[in-house]
Amino acid sequence: MGLIAPYRRPYAGTQPEYLHAPYVSTVKRAPTRPLVAIPQTLSEVTGPHFGKDDIVQGAFDLTKQHAGEPLGERIVVSGRVLDEDGRPMPHTLVEIWQCNAAGRYLHKRDQHNAPLDPNFTGQGHTMTDEQGRYRFVTIRPGEYPWANHYNAWRPAHIHFSLFGPAFATRIITQMYFPGDPLLPFDPIYNCTADVAARERLISRFDWETTIPQEALGYEFDVILLGRDATPTEEPKRR
Amino acid sequence: MRSLATTWQTVGPYFRIGMERLMVADIAGEGVEGQRIRVQVRVLDGDDVPIPDAVLEVWQANSHGKYAHPEDTQDKPLEQRFRGYGRIGTDDDGWLRFDTVKPGPVPGPGDVDQAPHLVVGLMMRGLLKRLVTRMYFPGEVLNQTDPILMLVEGARRKTLVARAGVEDVKVLTWEIHMQGKDETVFFEL
Ligand SMILES: [Fe+2]
């Protein structure tokens, strides 16, 4: 098989540590031993690929999954999936989930005393196009309380899950909204040391994709780990 | 200009809303070649309390040791009906189960064969980013020389090897301990 060109390791400080005590659930779940660094092999530079058969047509529109329209402010969330070198990632699966406009998830464990919306499930998925672009239509999710600490509220967010070309490029993240006053208080948003890396999780209001009389547009790009051209047997550090 | 990869965030407790649709517990459908196995995994936290809201992803080669991916250029048979991907959530008791075929060996660094293994990604509430690990098979000769296992200190290698069932050797059990004396080995890629 010859030598394997590995995907880069994340730049220092731009990814969370596992243990982040302000987010209480990490305390009993974060590993306590150092991770064992391994070279990427064929097993890690390959990964599952999904095609048109894995996609439900129209699943990009979360406002059209039921008989009626969900309550809340309609929004368009779109952007590009690129790697660290700016190369578009075409035909890659993007899955999202979110709570409804009242801040309630359609999930048996969500006991928040806010109404469910019979016209909103909160699940969407799509495939990026040739240029790595994706687009969802949904409603702006509400903020919701959680039990992490006294009077804890999550800022409004949409969960994103992407694969990219390899097992090594998998990412699951959360997209936030500009100007959310809860961001400075949220231990999950603030778990990453690098402030600029955090701020890249905040979408941008986008007039271009805003639909007149219909929906506000927000732009959110997702960047996957890049890859060095030179194959090597040693894991790359930077 | 180079940009930097997006920051991971936890899947949170409600990932099933978005991830249920592609949950796959039957990785090798009908007609796929190879030795059929069932894997049962239990995920436990630092107090040995079962974790009911974890999701595990599996990536594996087919029984010939070939990945369904364009970068696998080995001259080995591909099987149309085998993607090699699984995604399974834990139940209220921290268990998850999946059926698949045992993968064949794939090449590793220096073209030394790796022992058969499942590549595993683990996500849950309380994990701010994915944990990567591997599940190896009991009694494999190649486990003695596997180039990745060799990077793990001897006493901890057993955390990566599943146990064969006493009644049915095709039923494998693997415990994932997030912490504690049997803490599972997790990898940095
Ligand atoms: Fe959430």
ipTM: 0.97
For chain A, give every domain's residue range: 45-224
A16 to B7: CB separation less than 8 angstroms, yes or no: yes
The interface residues of chain B toward chain A in range 122-161, judged by CB-CB distance below 8 A, are: 123-131, 134, 147-148, 151-152
Please name the residue that has the structure tokens 């059209």.
A64
Cα separation, B68 vs A51, whole angstroms: 13
Cα separation, B43 vs B48, whole angstroms: 9
Partners of A188 on chain B (C-beta within 8 Å) are 9-10, 128
* Mutation for A interface: B22, B114, B118, B128, most A CBs within 10 A: B128
When pLDDT is averaged across residues B105-120 and rounded to a whole number, the result is: 95
Partners of B3 on chain A (C-beta within 8 Å) are 82, 84, 86, 223
Partner-chain residue, chosen from B2, B7, B10, that has the shortest CB–CB distance to A84: B2
Please report the pLDDT score of residue B2 as a whole number.
Answer: 76
B83 to A49: CB separation less than 8 angstroms, yes or no: yes
pLDDT tens digits for range B50-76? 999 999 999 999 999 999 999 999 999
A174 to B9: CB separation less than 8 angstroms, yes or no: yes
Please report the pLDDT score of residue B11 as a whole number.
Answer: 98
Consecutive H or E run containing A197: helix A195-199
Please report the pLDDT score of residue A1 as a whole number.
Answer: 59
Just give the CATH number of A45-224.
Answer: 2.60.130.10
In a domain, B4, yes or no: no
When pLDDT is averaged across residues B77-97 and rounded to a whole number, the result is: 97
Partner-chain residue, chosen from B15, B128, B147, that has the shortest CB–CB distance to A26: B128
Output the domain CATH number for residue B63.
2.60.130.10
Pairing mode, if any, of strands B163-164 and A133-139? unpaired
In a domain, B186, yes or no: no
Please report the pLDDT score of residue A11 as a whole number.
Answer: 94
Cα separation, A35 vs A13, whole angstroms: 16
Partners of B14 on chain A (C-beta within 8 Å) are 97, 99, 105, 107, 109-110, 159
Please report the pLDDT score of residue A235 as a whole number.
Answer: 47
**A229 Rama class: left (phi>0) / alpha (psi -120 to 50) / beta:** alpha
Pairing mode, if any, of strands B36-44 and B85-89? unpaired
Q: Is the dihedral of CA A69, A174, B83, B22 positive or negative?
A: negative
Which residues of chain A are modeled with pLDDT < 50? Answer: 234-238
In a domain, B19, yes or no: yes
B5 to A10: CB separation less than 8 angstroms, yes or no: yes
Residues of A annotated as catalytic are 105, 144, 154, 157, 159
Please report the pLDDT score of residue A3 as a whole number.
Answer: 77
Residue of B nearest to A4 (CA): B109
Please report the pLDDT score of residue A228 as a whole number.
Answer: 81
Partner-chain residue, chosen from A20, A36, A82, that has the shortest CB–CB distance to B128: A20
In a domain, B8, yes or no: no
In a domain, B10, yes or no: no
* Tokens, residue B59: 């990536």
> Nearest-CA distance from B115 to chain A in Å?
11
A71 DSSP assignment: S
When pLDDT is averaged across residues B102-115 and rounded to a whole number, the result is: 94
A123 to B17: CB separation less than 8 angstroms, yes or no: yes
Please name the residue that has the structure tokens 């090798």.
B28
Please name the residue that has the structure tokens 């368009």.
A76
Name the domain count of chain B: 1
Q: Which domain holds residue B109?
A: 15-177
When pLDDT is averaged across residues B6-25 and rounded to a whole number, the result is: 97
* Tokens, residue A25: 């659930």
